[in-house]
Amino acid sequence: MSHPNAEPRARLSRDRVLEAAITLADAAGIESLTMRKLGVELGVEAMSLYRYVAHKSDLLDGMIDTVFREIDVPSGTDWRVAMRGRAESVRAVLSRHRWATGLMESRTTPGPANLRHHDAVLGVLRSAGFSIAMAAHAYSALDSYIYGFALQEPSLPFHSDEETAQAVQAIMGRFASGQYPHLTEIAVEHVLKPGYDYGDEFAFGLDLILDGLEHALHAS
Partner DNA sequence: AGTCGTACGCTTACGTCGTAAGCACGTCAA
Partner DNA sequence: TTGACGTGCTTACGACGTAAGCGTACGACT
Q: Is 148 in the site for a copy of itself (CB under 8 A)?
A: yes
Region 29-48 residues binding a copy of itself, contact defined as CB under 8 A: 31
Count the residues of the shown chain that bind a copy of itself, applying the rule CB under 8 A.
Answer: 63
Check: CB of residue 182 under 8 Å from CB of residue 100: no
For DNA, which residue of 4, 7, 11, 178 counts as binding (CB under 7 A)? 11
Q: Is 2 in the site for DNA (CB under 7 A)?
A: yes
Other CB atoms within a 10 A radius of the CB of residue 184 amount to: 15
Check: CB of residue 30 under 8 Å from CB of residue 99: yes
Of 50 and 147, CB closest to DNA? 50
Q: Is 96 in the site for DNA (CB under 7 A)?
A: no
CA distance 61 to 44: 21
Check: CB of residue 114 under 8 Å from CB of residue 65: yes
Task: Please name which of 100, 135, 102 lies closest in space to residue 119, comparing C-alpha atoms.
Answer: 135
Region 40-99 residues binding a copy of itself, contact defined as CB under 8 A: 98
In the shown chain, the binding pattern of residues 111 to 130 toward a copy of itself, with x for contact by CB under 8 A and - for none, equals: -x--xx-xxx-xx--x----
170 backbone dihedrals φ, ψ, rounded to 5°: -60, -40
Of 16 and 169, CB closest to a copy of itself? 169
On the 0-12 / 13-18 / 19+ scale of CB atoms within 10 A, 151 is middle
Q: Is 39 in the site for DNA (CB under 7 A)?
A: yes
Helices (H) and strands (E) in the chain, counts: 10, 0
Q: Is 182 in the site for DNA (CB under 7 A)?
A: no
Count the residues of the shown chain that bind DNA, applying the rule CB under 7 A.
Answer: 20
In the chain, DSSP assigns E strands to none
Given the rule CB under 8 A, which residues bind a copy of itself? 31, 98, 101-110, 112, 115-116, 118-120, 122-123, 126, 132-133, 135-137, 139-141, 143-149, 151-152, 154-155, 157, 171, 175, 180-183, 185-186, 189-191, 198, 201, 204-205, 207-209, 211-213, 216
